[in-house]
Amino acid sequence: MRKGQYRFVAGFLFAPVALYVTFVIWPYIQTFGYSLTDWKGQSQTFKFVGLDNYKALFQDDIFMGAIWHNILFLIFIPLVTILLALFFAFMLNVGGRSRAGGVAGVAGSKYYKIIYFFPQVLSLAIMAVLFGAVYRSDGGGMLNGLLIKLGLVDAQSPIEWLNEPDLVLWALLVVVVWHGVGFYLVLFSAAMQSIPKDIYEAALIDGAGRSQSFFRITLPLLWESVQTAWVYLGIAAMDMFILVSTMTSGDYGGGPDHHSEVMATVMMRNFLLYGKSGYACAMGVVMLVLTLIVSVFTLRATRRDRVEF
């Protein structure tokens, strides 16, 4: 590259890099700095306490329980969402049979794609309102009303979905999966459409069934899309603040009795309610480190040789 080209490229990169450092990197550095102090949030004076906030953090039973809840979300949200999205995408693109004996999606697949994608256009606030009505703890709730009509639940003692310690996490998991499947279905569908139909037709001629076509053709050729989806869903599972704070009981959510607590809700409660801002910043740093570890681990664990066609 000639000398003039270096200046040209550097001129274009200077502004975006400066903005990124100012609005992304610098806040992270500030947060780490505050995590080493006893900052109260509103005060302009604070003192350096070293790693005391981090020591207290790992002795905090509520925060450690919140980490465990995030780990459960980290396991189940990507797994269930990707499996459902892959299944629906496969059926809508190559799961049917055309009259000419070729490869096609199931009948009405173009309409199903719109229906499946519809939850993705809703904001998380709207989702919280909708599923708040679904999970209402009386007979007026959609889920309890249906179970009462079927005779599976007593009308005098309906299930309190968001107030039962053993059910609340699974109820939230359903919301996240319902919201995410449509987006990843479209992502996987776009990747499947780039796979030549000749490959599937050759497999059909050789007598391959749907399951063999999926595991021997579709999944290997979609692996990079699956890897990307897993990373994004893992990052979402490490957050969960909006749904937990709006759908569960308690200040900034986490109820009942901290059984739906996640790291973000504990952090926001300490920052905004208790005025322990330095302590909350330490939680934010731990969240950042854990999210980076999850992302790197996922990318390395799912790495495989590129399959070309």
**H/E stretch holding 186:** helix 168-193
Please give the DSSP secondary-structure letter assigned to residue 37. Answer: B
CA–CA dist 144, 167 (Å, integer): 14
What does pTM read for this prediction?
0.88
217 or 36, which is more confident: 36
pLDDT digits (tens, 9 = 90+) for 152-170: 888 888 899 999 999 999 9
Q: Classify residue 209: in a domain, yes or no.
A: yes
Total tally of structural domains belonging to the chain? 1
CATH number of the domain bearing residue 214? 1.10.3720.10
Q: Classify residue 9: in a domain, yes or no.
A: no
Q: Classify residue 307: in a domain, yes or no.
A: no
Closest by CA position to 271, among listed 24, 19, 40: 40
Which residue type is seen at 214?
A: F
Closest by CA position to 125, among listed 274, 255, 242: 242
pLDDT digits (tens, 9 = 90+) for 159-204: 999 999 999 999 999 999 999 999 999 999 888 888 887 887 787 7
Q: Classify residue 33: in a domain, yes or no.
A: no
pLDDT digits (tens, 9 = 90+) for 60-119: 999 999 999 999 999 999 999 999 999 998 888 876 665 555 566 777 777 888 888 888
Spell out the residues 6+ positions from residue 285 whose beta carbon is closer than 8 angstroms to its own: 31, 32, 35
- Is the predicted pLDDT of residue 220 greater than 70, yes or no? yes
Alpha-carbon separation of residue 129 from 122, 135, 170, 194, 228 (angstroms) = 11, 10, 17, 38, 30
- What residue numbers bound the domain in which 65 lies? 51-301
Residue 61's pLDDT is what? 95
